[in-house]
Amino acid sequence: MNFPLPPQGRRNRVFPPSPPTLHSLASVITGVVVVCGLYFGRAVLIPITLSVLLSFLLAPLVTTLRRFHLPQFLAILVAVLSTVLALAGVGALIAAQIYQLSASLPQYQEEIEQKVETVQQKTVGRADSLMSRAAATLQRVTPTPPPAPPQPRGRAARNQPQQPMPVEVHTPAPTPLQLAQKALAPAVAPLETGFIVLVVTIFILFQREDLRDRLISVFGSNDLHRTTTAINDASQRLSRYFVAQLGVNVTVGGVIALGLAGIGVPGALLFGAVAALMRFVPYIGIWIAAIMATLVAAATQPQWTMGVTTLIFFIVVDVVAGQFAEPMLYGRRSGLSPLAVVVAAIFWSWLWGPIGLVLSTPLTLCIVTLGRYVDRLNFLTILLGDQPALTPAQTCYQRLLADDPHEALLQADRLLATMPLIDYYEQVVFEGLRFARNDALRGVLPAEQVARINQALLDIVEDLESVDDSRHARVAESSAHKALRSGGDRPAEFKLAPDAGEVLCVPGRGAFDDVAVAIVGQLLLRHEIPCTATTYDEVRATRAAMVDGQRSPAICVVSLDAPESAPYLRNLVRRLRERAPVATIVVGIGAMLRDDGAGIADDPDTLFPASLRELIAQCGAALSPEREPPPEKRETTQDMQDQYSAGAKL
């Protein structure tokens, strides 16, 4: 195998990336300033953020009301009042359920004490017993400590320092006004924040179009298309996400309330409402409600049956909602990776506390959507988004670089479940080989690693010989019949002659051209096209004397260097044409060869397929009866071959 290597005494270097520039430093400083601003300005930013997200949630309702020809003011008023009444109703329901449950707690006191005592005996009691035994054993082994010194008496006792007299501070009893202020203080701040959020939300809904135009003017007036697309994508994605999540959470809360009422758990409506609200907290919210309901259920009866049933019921409902309901409403991909959701929850909880935990997913979704349209923030989309970070071709090449052909084969099995083998070879393997070829030309791949990659790919190709493409073939045939019925053309078919000969596959001298020949040969045989393969060294050593134009009416030159029209490749095609003047020469893989004066592209019997499917079709068509040359051309061909053989002997 011949492939370019660095000259002796010189090594091609891979230059390190450029050192950090002032622009990179400015980006880091900007990021730190933004995080600090979010942290120290949370008192102002939290109400504004809640207002913006609430406007996204109410926007579909306002749009629906506007379709019934309601004025804008009335539609916004109805949407906001509906939200306020719904929140007030949920709050009243939770308060009533808490009052009822607290009034019934003395009835469960005996059961709670009994279960606590049982749990304590099974856990803490056994631990105390073990610790007591260990302490007794240690005391028997430990030597006796020396006796304490005698207490001073007489004059020595009188000379001891006097102990300070303890002082007690008594605060006056609070007045009724102070008690009222202390009781209402926790509720004043949420009510104040809620009022601000509602007011800002109303103004945002009134001026949605004006705010959108101002954002476009500030951030993207130079590229209106990109800015408009980004804003529409973010608003639609967030509105869809909020509406779907609200619908799922309310449904889950209703199902849990009905299920707990059927089980007999007191306060079923309370736990249903808590579950609906806590599901806005990713991953852990539903389990907080489940633990609360399980504890109350366990305290209701002497046995543990109700508590275990409640816990199992929560697990079943959450699995059904998470694995079936949410994928159908959100789509299989919500736009964030699972790890990104967890990291975002930790980050926003650190910044804004519990409200940040609830808002972590939608805020991160906004950032990921923004990164799709802002080049400097694209790294956030790569890190936090759910799209694959590498293409299948890059993943395949990376597995081969890591000397892990097993993972590359597993990737092939996954991809072949959704695509035919020929598409896998063209879109994944050949694209990965182009990455490998570029690295080999740069000199960053040593010869040993090139050999390992070739051997791993040959093993993968050999393993894929038994792949069944019948399902994909049936789909393709069905599509062809549909196209024919709709007036389209049936794909080209060919029928081989009885003694058509075989296709001769000739590789180039590139580092990975032998693997490409093995793939093309496998595909030809799967299409029942006879073929044989040779090597570039054999063709070059004999100056193509081994080529028989009668036995091989089609010659397929397979090389990853084809798109660049390498000089050695033009010389190879010229030698093959001299030896087999009437043979069909198919040069692949890639784009059409450029005509740099060699005259290859002017030959009508030299074909340059743009894809593997076209290459297979051209090789099969070259062996069909329609490709038989006329008698006078066959005689000319035989004369030219005889003359070439005589010249070779001389």
Percent of the chain with pLDDT over 70: 71
Please check whether residue 620 lies inside any domain of the structure.
yes
Please check whether residue 106 lies inside any domain of the structure.
no
CATH of the domain at 537: 3.40.50
Tens-digit pLDDT profile for residues 338-397: 778 888 888 888 888 888 888 888 888 888 877 777 777 778 888 887 777 788 899 899
Tokens representing 506?
A: 């000739």
Give the domain-ending residue among 478, 513, 543. 478
Question: For residue 8, with 0-12 CB atoms within 10 Å meaning exposed, 13-18 middle and 19 or more buried, which class applies?
Answer: exposed
CA distances from 339 to 179, 240, 283, 351, 463 (A): 46, 22, 11, 18, 35
Cis previous bond, 589, omega within 30? yes
Please check whether residue 507 lies inside any domain of the structure.
yes
Count of Cβ atoms closer than 10 Å to residue 85 Cβ: 10
pLDDT at 483: 40
**Rounded distance, CA 141 to CA 57, Å?**
71
Least confident range from 89-98, 259-268, 351-360, 491-500: namely 491-500
Confidence of residue 484 (pLDDT cuts 50, 70, 90): very low
Please check whether residue 577 lies inside any domain of the structure.
yes
**Rounded distance, CA 130 to CA 138, Å?**
12
Mean pLDDT of 141-148: 62
pLDDT at 452: 92
Tens-digit pLDDT profile for residues 154-182: 565 566 666 666 767 767 777 777 766 67
CB-based contacts of 427, cutoff 8 Å, min separation 6:
392, 393, 419
One domain, residues 620 and 542: yes
One domain, residues 509 and 639: yes
Give the domain-ending residue among 478, 494, 511. 478
Confidence of residue 471 (pLDDT cuts 50, 70, 90): low
Please check whether residue 547 lies inside any domain of the structure.
yes
Give the domain-ending residue among 462, 478, 494. 478
One domain, residues 468 and 512: no
Confidence of residue 490 (pLDDT cuts 50, 70, 90): very low
One domain, residues 473 and 512: no
One domain, residues 470 and 592: no
One domain, residues 602 and 635: yes
Q: Which helix (H) or strand (E) holds 54?
A: helix 42-67
Strand partners, 585: 555, 606
Please check whether residue 486 lies inside any domain of the structure.
no
One domain, residues 535 and 575: yes
pLDDT at 502: 86
Contact in structure between 278 and 253 (CB atoms under 8 Å)? no
Coil, helix or strand at residue 308: helix
pLDDT at 519: 92
pLDDT at 602: 56
**Rounded distance, CA 496 to CA 623, Å?**
6
Cis previous bond, 519, omega within 30? no
pLDDT at 258: 92
One domain, residues 544 and 635: yes
Check pLDDT > 80 for residue 492.
Answer: no
Percent of the chain with pLDDT over 90: 6
Tens-digit pLDDT profile for residues 18-67: 555 677 777 788 888 988 998 898 888 888 888 888 888 888 888 888 88
One domain, residues 532 and 397: no
- If you average pLDDT over every residue of the chain, what do you get? 76
Count of domains observed in the chain: 2
What is 488-521 written as a DSSP string?
-PPPP-----TT---EEEEE-SSTTHHHHHHHHH
One domain, residues 453 and 509: no
Check pLDDT > 70 for residue 495.
Answer: no
List the Cα angle 255/261/263 in 5-degree steps. Answer: 100
**Rounded distance, CA 72 to CA 203, Å?**
12
Q: Which domain holds residue 436?
A: 392-478
Please check whether residue 604 lies inside any domain of the structure.
yes
Confidence of residue 486 (pLDDT cuts 50, 70, 90): very low
Tokens representing 314?
A: 């929560």
Higher pLDDT, 402 or 117: 402
Full-model pTM: 0.63
CA distances from 216 to 232, 235, 598 (A): 11, 14, 55
One domain, residues 512 and 458: no
Confidence of residue 14 (pLDDT cuts 50, 70, 90): very low
Q: Determine phi and psi for 469, rounding to 5 degrees.
A: -105, 20
**Rounded distance, CA 472 to CA 477, Å?**
9
Please check whether residue 412 lies inside any domain of the structure.
yes
One domain, residues 450 and 582: no
What secondary structure, in 3-state letters, does 93-141 show? HHHHHHHHHHHHHHHHHHHHHHHHHHHHHHHHHHHHHHHHHHHHHHHHH
